[in-house]
């Protein structure tokens, strides 16, 4: 299953959406503030369920599904040359798109990986190329040891879960939304994940920022 929308890219051109468009539905309404504790507990339960489900997938199955997602990314993004694509180093069974990032570089794009600077701060994206040194950062995730900080034109966001309105359920640290909120110009945000990650709603709160589109296998 794949989900796509029509996206405006940098420079005014449009990012292609060659496969069927799925309506994101009506705008979600945030839960009343007094219910945030209930929503937080519910999200933690869903997060545990979805992560266990993802990690139960066979390694080869995840590899095949990641390849299908990579193919959809190629169909969705019309141009790589001159663009900075914010990607990620796979963690806890996320779709492994590292081969795809190398192809982005071969086509004239640049890849940036997120770095946790400090808890409660936005992520910093740093340019990365194959062979550049990586170091273990927060949650033991590999990230560039050095390199210039950049603002991505496109952000590829792995999801733990997602809903029909394209809100993302992540790991609970708030880094994703905090980073987007701090950017003076919002990049095109493409969520990626396995089809089982779809849920009816994440019960979005005022701080949650929806993705532009979600691609699944």
Domains of the chain by start residue, with CATH: 32-216 (3.40.50.10420)
Give pLDDT, residue 25.
43
Strands 84-86 and 134-136: unpaired
Q: What are the angstrom distances between the C-alpha of 169 and each of 47, 89, 107, 134, 176?
A: 8, 18, 31, 26, 10
Q: How far apart are CA 140 and CA 211, in angstroms?
A: 26
What pairing do the DSSP bridges indicate for beta strands 154-158 and 188-193? parallel
> Which one, of 109, 115, 108, lies nearest residue 84 by Cα?
109
- Its sign, for the CA torsion 167, 171, 173, 179, is negative
The pLDDT value recorded for residue 3 is 53
Residue reference for tokens 């210039």: 148
Nearest Cα to Cα of residue 177 among 215, 120, 101 = 120
pLDDT of the residue at 18: 38
Summarised one tens digit per residue, pLDDT across range 147-178 is 889 999 999 999 999 999 999 999 999 999 99
Q: For position 42, what pLDDT does the model report?
A: 94
Positions of the chain with pLDDT lower than 70, given as ranges: 1-34
């Amino acid at each position: 299953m794949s989900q796509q929308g029509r996206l405006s890219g940098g420079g005014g051109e449009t990012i292609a959406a060659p496969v069927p468009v799925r309506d994101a539905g009506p705008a979600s309404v945030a839960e009343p503030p007094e219910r945030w504790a209930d929503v937080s507990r519910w999200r933690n339960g869903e997060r545990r369920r979805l992560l266990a489900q993802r990690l139960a997938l066979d390694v080869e199955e995840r590899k095949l599904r990641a390849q299908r997602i990579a193919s959809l990314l190629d169909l969705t993004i019309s141009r790589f040359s001159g663009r900075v694509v914010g990607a990620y180093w796979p963690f806890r069974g996320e779709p492994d798109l590292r081969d795809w990032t190398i192809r982005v570089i071969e086509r004239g794009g640049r890849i940036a990986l997120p770095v946790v600077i400090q808890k409660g701060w936005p992520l910093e994206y740093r340019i990365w190329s194959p062979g550049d040194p990586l170091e273990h950062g927060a949650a033991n995730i590999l990230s560039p040891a050095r390199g210039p900080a950049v603002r991505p034109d496109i952000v590829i966001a792995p999801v733990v879960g997602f809903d029909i309105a394209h809100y993302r359920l992540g790991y609970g640290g708030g880094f994703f939304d905090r980073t987007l909120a701090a950017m003076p110009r919002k990049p095109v945000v493409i969520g990626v994940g396995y089809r089982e990650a779809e849920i009816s709603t994440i019960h979005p709160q005022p701080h949650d920022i929806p993705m532009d589109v979600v691609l699944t296998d």
